[in-house]
Amino acid sequence: MRRKKSHSELLLLIPILASPIAYGDHLWDEKYFSVNLDGCKNLVAGFKAVDTVKGFVYTSSAPIIAGSGGSYSRADETYPTLAVHQKGDPYHVAKALADKFVLEANDPHGIRTACIRPTAMYGEGDRQMIPHTLNVIDSGRFRRRLRSYIRSARTSRSLP
């Protein structure tokens, strides 16, 4: 007979925190490290203490990949990140250090951990992606950028 799980048992946690404007004012530098790195350390320590959480997925960020030249298509968890170099904007360095911590905290006999590294996220209250995209479309620059992207893709990938 299988034991019925209690509603208070948390098996997997995937926190998704949106960034402030990452490349903007560095007034938030300390908060980036407090929320991302210290927050992850506190969560993992708490999970180990309660022993009911079996998985933790950290929402990292694609730009933590160091020296990629902006291409993330073939990058995996073995690529060097800003955690190694610790250079770059404070937001992404903090994300890289938290990413490294989470991957190192993986325990096949305890809490399994993983990171996702999306290139962009948006949602309710977004002030970065959607307004900028709408401005590009409204200004007519979208067609020029799309045409340029298609030409570049055809050249680099030999598309028809």
Q: Give residue for tokens 């999306």.
A: 118
Alpha-carbon Rg of the chain, whole angstroms? 19
Residue 38 has pLDDT above 80, yes or no: yes
Residue 95 annotated as catalytic: yes
Q: Which of 5, 87, 95, 100 is catalytic?
A: 95
Q: Which residues contact 28 (CB under 8 A, 6 or more apart)?
A: 20, 90, 91
Confidence of residue 133 (pLDDT cuts 50, 70, 90): confident
- Looking at residue 80, its pLDDT comes to 84
Confidence of residue 158 (pLDDT cuts 50, 70, 90): very low
* Pairwise CA distance, residues 52 & 69, whole Å: 41
- Looking at residue 63, its pLDDT comes to 84
